[in-house]
Chain A
Amino acid sequence: MTALTLSTVVSIGFFERALIEAVLAGALAGLVGTLVVLRKRAFFTTALTHATFPGAMVAAVMGFSVVVGSAVFSVLLVALMTAIARFRGQGGQVAAGVVLTFGFALGAILQAANPSLPISVESFLVGSILTVDAADIALTAVVLAIAALVLAVRGRHIIFATVDDLGYRAAGYRAWVAEALTVALIAATVVAIMPAIGAILAIALIVGPAAAARLLVTSTTAVFALAPVIGALAGVIGVVLSRELAVSAGGAITLVVAALVVVAAGAQRLGVVRWRRDEATNLAT
């Protein structure tokens, strides 16, 4: 099936490719973003999206795949963040902040040391969905399939561990498996969608659709179903708008995501959607 998608993708124009990538990236970001929002890992994800930048730079300097570079680097960063977060008085926020700025300083230095680099900083930062190739699309599709599979098989466990960590441990399960799966999915998503939407704006596409979905529906399963749809929708509208108005695609997608969140919040407030506050609070804590 992947082979079929690949052969059709190669023969079509750049705008159609961008639309396909927007749908896949939006769906993937929405799906994994639900985990990010439920587990409150937004800052962690932000740090990861920002800091994969030097990994991509190193890969470009050494001449191998940018995706491999970002992936290897994101594993290192997760390890570093885990190590820092374990120190007393430091914690997850400090870890994310340190890793985030270190990544950027390193990226800037690498860029300065190699001025003849074939890839521009800017495309890493804000992405260039109009220039994605078949390999980028295939990677996004594969990660999306894996994420869907993991959530279908282990989703209930991850939600249980998220909502009630103590209860999950008491029931005899290992909480670190849920944590490791979540972190791996977040890292894979960041690496897969970075070429399209960029290191900085990716976090909006990850967090936004899930936040909007949570405003509209109450059950966690429904959020997992709705968020990818909202993400894909935001991706497509953003790409079309960026062509019509001649503005940066990554920026347009981000603003569409924000608009959808505002619409969702409005719909919720107007009472279009029935919303039980106590359930919402249960979900949040």
Chain B
Amino acid sequence: MDLVDWLFGPFSLPFIARPMIVMAVLAIAVGIASVLVTLRSLQFVGDGLVHAVFPGIVVGFAIAGRDGLLVGGMVAAALGAIVLTLIGRRALGNDSAIALVLTVMFAVGIIIVSRQSNYVGQLEELLFGRLLTVTESDVTVTAAVSLLALLAMLAVARTQLFRAHDERAALAAGHRVLASDLVLAVAVALLIVVATAAVGNLLALGLLIVPGALARLVTDRLVLLVPIAIGAGLLASGAGLWLAYRASVDWAVPLPGGASVIATLVVLYLVTLGLRQLRPQKERASAFDRRAFDRSALVRA
């Protein structure tokens, strides 16, 4: 077995190629969402959306089986996005309110699932996804929804960037901030629904938070944030799926695809964090950076 085949062979198999296409589409769309989430510090709102999607998926699944899953998720996602955005505008006890909304939504999902038979198996599938068994129609739906979300995000990107730095100025300049917040939240929620179908409800959050945070570690330049975030997502998807395949073929460990991708992504983030610690950006170094730089200079000397 030569190296090229060992490395890329798995991706010619349909049950690895299909998840890879899904993950590539998600890496691009969610990568852009991730940068916006990072710049706007919406991570906890993202967590709220992830949990809000869950009852919708459960209800959809209970009513119409696999086809109802996405529809139910999208309805819940849109509702959750609007509720969480409106809560976010009221300053008082903001993060406690998000925590409450997200667990209540999740509890509704749990209660519905607990009324069904075969509850544990379903719960695990919904929570951790089933990346390695995606079908052709899953690929189409993921691509269509991602495209829609992408267009929505592009439409509000300018307002969001302005507002991320100075909300009052954005309002004064005539930007419709609330409308753009709502559009962004709904777009992110739609992406969470398709990501949930791929990597599972709880791991979708990793896809939403980590690429943007990683890009922010590497650069401060706005134009570079998006390509780096997408690149990190693609790299982690490929490496994670490859690992999942190798683990189940060579070591007989049935690694779940979604968990493998997300774990790879987080490891990538932590490695970047470590490198950043060793070699901080020299220009515009803060006091903390300078301290880290001195220490690394000492190590090298």
Contacts and interface: CB of A to CB of B under 8 A. Distances in A.
A211 B97 CA distance: 8
Interface stretch (A18-26, A178-186, A244-252): A244-252
B184 to A, nearest CB: 16
B114 A109 contact: no
A90 interface: yes
Contacts of B205: 97, 100-101
Interface stretch (A5-13, A138-146, A166-174, A198-206): A198-206
Contacts of B114: 126, 247-248, 251
Interface stretch (B10-18, B41-49, B60-68, B81-89): B41-49
- Main SS class of interface, B: helix
B239 interface: no
B104 A258 contact: yes
B202, B205, B217, most chain A CB atoms within 10 A: B202
B209 A101 contact: yes
Contacts of A46: 44, 47, 99, 102
A140 to B, nearest CB: 20
Interface stretch (A35-43, A59-67, A149-157, A188-196): A35-43
Interface stretch (B122-130, B143-151, B167-175): B122-130
Interface residues of B, number: 60
Contact of B110 (A96, A112, A250): A250
- Main SS class of interface, A: helix
Given A46-B47, A98-B206, A109-B256, 9 more contacts: A46-B44, A89-B216, A96-B44, A97-B205, A102-B266, A109-B259, A113-B253, A200-B110, A251-B108
23 contacts: A40-B95, A40-B96, A42-B44, A42-B99, A43-B44, A43-B95, A87-B276, A96-B43, A98-B206, A98-B213, A112-B255, A122-B123, A126-B110, A200-B106, A201-B103, A204-B104, A207-B100, A211-B93, A247-B114, A251-B110, A251-B111, A252-B111, A255-B111
Interface of A: 36-37, 40, 42-43, 45-46, 50, 83-84, 86-91, 93-94, 96-98, 100-102, 104-106, 108-109, 112-113, 115, 120-122, 125-126, 200-201, 203-204, 207-208, 210-211, 214, 246-248, 250-252, 254-255, 257-258, 261, 280-281, 284
